[in-house]
Amino acid sequence: MADRVLFRAGPLSLRHLSEADAPLLVRWLSDPRVLEFYEGRDRPHDLAMVREAFFTPPEHPETRCIVHYEGTAIGYLQFYPLPSEERAEYGYSEGEAFFGMDLFIGEAACRDRGLGTRLVSATADYLFAAQGASRVVVDPQTWNARAIRCYEKAGFRRVKLLPKHEWHEGARRDSWLMERAAGAETHKR
């Protein structure tokens, strides 16, 4: 499995998603604390939903990964070159290498320990160094204070309010466009 590891950052590592990870995703995406901000509590995933969402080819290229901490799978992360329609929505022109990122920590014992900040920072560093990204963007919902603080500590800054950006739990929700440019300083505690 070592050939599937994208990077290691101390006790954290990121590896490519495999079919064997489907039961983990089902468990994590049935947890209301994960679903509160990722997919919605009205959308607990069963095996068929996980297979459809995570194991069918995406419309745009994306790299789907499992996050490990000290060798144990703790969450999910995906990154992708920002598609043209998202660039336009966000107000970005073509030319620069922009990447988007989405993630969640699935293991409850690993939340609120600073692992998300370390993961987000390490993944952005990887995208800058190995993928040639000039900027990495995320779009947390405006009321997801924990995620916003995590991204800010990892060097992201709020750049634009995205009104009614995401369908979540029966309504369109506002999000923040946040970005980190290559070479940006982080604000880790």
**Residues of 38-60 as b/e, b for ≥16 C-beta within 10 angstroms?**
bbbeeeebeeebbeeebeeeeee
Would you kindly state where each structural domain of the chain is located, as residue ranges?
Answer: 2-181
Q: What is the pLDDT of residue 138?
A: 97
| pLDDT (mean) for 14-30 | 96
Condensed to tens digits (0 to 9), the pLDDT of residues 109-163 reads 999 899 999 999 999 999 999 999 999 999 999 999 999 999 999 999 999 999 9
pLDDT digits (tens, 9 = 90+) for 37-84: 888 788 888 999 999 999 988 888 999 999 999 999 999 999 999 999
H or E element at residue 12: strand 12-16
pLDDT at 55: 93
pLDDT at 36: 87
For 2-181, CATH gives 3.40.630.30
**DSSP conformational letter for 183:** T
Q: Where are the strands (E) in 42-87, listed by range?
A: 63-69, 72-81
- Beta strands at 12-16 and 5-9: parallel, antiparallel or unpaired: antiparallel
